[in-house]
Amino acid sequence: MENKCTKYEGLMTFGDEARLLEHIETCEDCRREHERMQKVSELIALVAPEIRKSRRKVAKLKMACASFALFCFVSAAGLVNFNTDIHDTIMYGQTLTLEDYGLPVDSYGLIMVN
């Protein structure tokens, strides 16, 4: 059984390029591995523009969703603050009664029923 060289990954990751190329010249196993990695790098370089385009589309979609959510939130917050009639009658520490809500009440403060 023949032992294969396992230095390629270590030299590729942690070594400098000069040491890697020097080792590739002397080792057949690492030369084949380097050729395979070069082919993979070429394929990645071909596909990279398409990946960037798809990422841009996703980023634009996220931006549109965030803008729509912000628009809905601002619109809803503006509608809630238009009801100022109760805010004018209540002060800090007071409690609202049924009369403050505009309901008909009797002398005891209970809802009046006819």
Secondary-structure percent of the chain, ordered helix, strand, coil, rounded to 5: 65, 0, 30
Expressed in angstroms, the distance from the first to the final Cα of the chain is 103
pLDDT of 10 reads: 87
Give CA separation, 21 vs 44, 48, 58, 104, in Å.
Answer: 22, 26, 40, 93
For 43-101, write each residue's pLDDT tens digit: 999 999 888 888 999 999 999 999 999 999 988 876 766 655 655 656 666 777 777 77
Tokens at 16, concatenated: 């400098």
The sign of the CA dihedral 66, 70, 76, 80 is: positive
Q: pTM higher than 0.85, yes or no?
A: no
pLDDT-derived band at 106, boundaries 50, 70, 90:
confident
Q: In the 8-state DSSP scheme, what is residue 93?
A: T
Helix (H) or strand (E) holding 72: helix 28-80
Do residues 39 and 19 touch, judged by C-beta distance below 8 A? no
